[in-house]
């Protein structure tokens, strides 16, 4: 993240709108879906540790299909 910030977003940083970009990215629905999927995946990984990580493409596709489930408590 630091390399990208320092090399690809120099104009945004110089013009002081880089933080706005980050804020808007966090509002993007896929960001929320991926963050929730990652959290649930990490919990399940800890319980049922597979011998290897899944391929990124498969993980990414699963994140796109993920539906957030609320606790029933």
For 33-63, write each residue's pLDDT tens digit.
Answer: 888 898 888 888 888 877 788 899 998 899 9
HSE of 6, CA atoms in CB hemisphere, 13 A = 3
Residue 73 pLDDT > 60 = no
In the numeric block, which tokens belong to residue 13?
């940083």
Residue 72 pLDDT > 70 = no
- Which comes out higher in pLDDT, residue 15 or 69? 15
- Closest of 69, 44, 72, 71 to residue 59, by C-alpha: 44
CA 55 to chain centre: 16
pTM here is 0.52
**Domain extents in the chain:** 2-65
């Amino acid at each position: 993240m630091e390399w990208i910030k320092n090399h690809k977003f120099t104009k945004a940083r110089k013009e002081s709108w880089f933080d706005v970009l980050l804020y808007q990215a966090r509002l993007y629905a896929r960001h929320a879906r991926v963050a929730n999927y990652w959290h649930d995946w990490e919990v399940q990984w800890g319980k049922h540790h597979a011998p290897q990580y899944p391929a990124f493409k498969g993980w990414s596709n699963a994140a796109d299909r993920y539906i957030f489930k609320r606790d029933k408590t």
